[in-house]
Amino acid sequence: MTSGTTIADAPSANAIDFDPLSEATIRDPGPAYSELAAKCPFHHYRGPDYDFHITSDYRQIRDEILSDTKTIWSFKFGNSAKDWGADDGEFNNVGFMTDGAFHQDWASAPRKGMTPKKIRDYTPEVEAIADELVTAMEKAEVKSGNFHDLFALPLPARTMCFMLGADQANYPRYKHWADILQFMLFSDPDPTAFREIVEEFQPHFMTLIEERKRIIADAGIDEPTVEHLGTLLPYDYISLGLVLRVDGRRLNDAELFNICTAFLTGGQETTTSLITNMVWRLLEVPERWETLKARPELIDNVIEESLRYDPPVIAHFRTSLEATTLNGVDLPERSKLMFSMIGANRDPSLFPDPDSFRIDRPLGEVRKHISFGYGVHFCLGAPVARLEAKVALTQLIARLPKLRLTGETKRIDSWLYWGRKELPVAWD
């Protein structure tokens, strides 16, 4: 099959020998998934630890899987190639890990903290963190180092802390927990492996939640409301969770902890990878960096092109709640389906010259990417990730104009996440 072949034309779910866990795919997933999307947009992968189908078709992912209102394709079994199970009320089938109408109601509640006004309110703090990090680089005696550690990791990690309502000084500890949790969820074939690390950090976050509850109780308030945010309670996501209502009721402890876990994982690694991928692509071709310095109005284009070309999360998973047929293939109940965002983002009918990183790709075109998902499962933190990326590029091109690569980069240790854990740079 050739580029542009549709799923309906595909003769077989195994028309190409593709292994998402092979060394070649992990080393450079973009071309591998692009070829898969072109030659076999619906593929059945069987490996020693996993068995799942992969869809790379942009419209099927957006309009069928992510827009599924019948809840054939469930999120509650986990965003992973293995089955977490959905009966654990402490971690699964709760909060963000739900489906259908309830998930829509649930997700709309925390979005109250992501309104355009709140993003404007967050901006000075994000700018202050970025300024502190860039200033440290400017004043460093040695003008070189790992950009991941110096800037790309602490900016999102500290932003996550202040938005959640936690001490920014704890960000290395939170990053440690998040790294272990994500590895267990996505790389360990044992579906229960993550429970040990959850048991380690759960008491910490429940303590933060209980501290806010005591403030409310000491004030003699039975039903806190949004009016208490910024007055009695600090305006952060732990406090927001205590005043939100879903189905007319207050959030329970499992749901409050789910918010903390979502920030712990979603608020760090993905934005760190967005920033490292973005800076990596700009510096690997110095003309791109020079162009952006001369044309800072392209910052938004660069951010969206980075998200399209190098999505921090390569793919997501769903689980079928019933026997179903997809692309002419009969799938039993509890089948695993991977939807490849990195492949869909390279659909040539939507993104001309899709395998090229173009910093001037028109915004109306590039914003069609699905790296933040779509529909009710659209990423809650997308506005903040974009804010952090914009603040980062704005300060870097202005204050470290001679930033440059000095050696080989290394990717993060995950087959489903895509970013640089080592990005050696120098500056003057």
Chain-centroid distance of CA 373 in Å reads 9
Q: How confident is the model at residue 111 (pLDDT cuts 50, 70, 90)?
A: confident
Q: What is the three-class DSSP state of 315?
A: strand
Whether the per-residue pLDDT at 181 is higher than 60: the answer is: yes
Distance CA 2, CA 6 (A): 10
The tokens describing 13, both together, are 């779910």
Confidence (pLDDT) at 98: 65
pLDDT: is 219 or 255 the higher one?
Answer: 219
Q: Distances from the Cα of 56 to the Cαs of 88, 212, 217, 331, 351, in angstroms?
A: 31, 44, 51, 17, 14
**% residues pLDDT > 90 (the chain):** 64
HSE-up (13 A, CA, CB side) for residue 53: 27
Q: For residue 398, is pLDDT > 70?
A: yes
Q: Which of 13, 10, 11 is nearest to 330 (CA)?
A: 13
**Residue 105: pLDDT band with limits 50, 70, 90:** low
pLDDT category at 254 given cuts 50, 70, 90 is: confident
Q: What is the mean pLDDT of residues 135-147?
A: 97
Question: How does residue 136 score in pLDDT terms, banded at 50, 70 and 90?
Answer: very high
pLDDT digits (tens, 9 = 90+) for 281-324: 999 999 999 999 999 999 999 999 999 999 999 999 998 989 99
- pLDDT value for 106: 67
CA dihedral sign of residues 143, 149, 150, 152: positive
Q: Is the pLDDT of residue 202 over 80?
A: yes
Interhelix angle 382-399/116-139, rounded to 10 degrees, is 30
Counts of helices then strands in the chain (DSSP H, E): 17, 14
Ranges of each domain in the chain:
7-426
Name the CATH code of domain 7-426 (choices 3.40.50.880, 1.10.533.10, 1.10.630.10, 3.30.70.100).
1.10.630.10
Among the listed ranges 69-73, 200-204, 336-340, which one has the minimum average pLDDT value?
A: 69-73
Tell me what pLDDT residue 277 has: 98
- Look up residue 234 and give its two tokens: 């600090």
**CA-wise closest residue to 243 among 215, 267, 203, 205:** 215
Band of residue 2 on the pLDDT scale cut at 50, 70, 90: very low
What is the per-residue pLDDT for 118? 87
For 7-49, the pLDDT digits (tens) are: 434 445 566 789 999 999 999 999 999 999 999 999 999 988 8
Task: Choose among 75, 152, 45, 80: nearest CA to 313.
Answer: 80
As a whole number of angstroms, the distance between CA 358 and CA 363 comes to 11
Report helix, strand or coil for 298.
Answer: helix
Q: Kindly state the DSSP code that residue 64 receives in the 8-state scheme.
A: I
Q: Mean pLDDT, to the nearest integer, of 328-341?
A: 93
pLDDT greater than 70 at residue 97: no
pLDDT tier for residue 74 given thresholds of 50, 70 and 90: confident
Closest CA to 40 of 327, 242, 295: 327
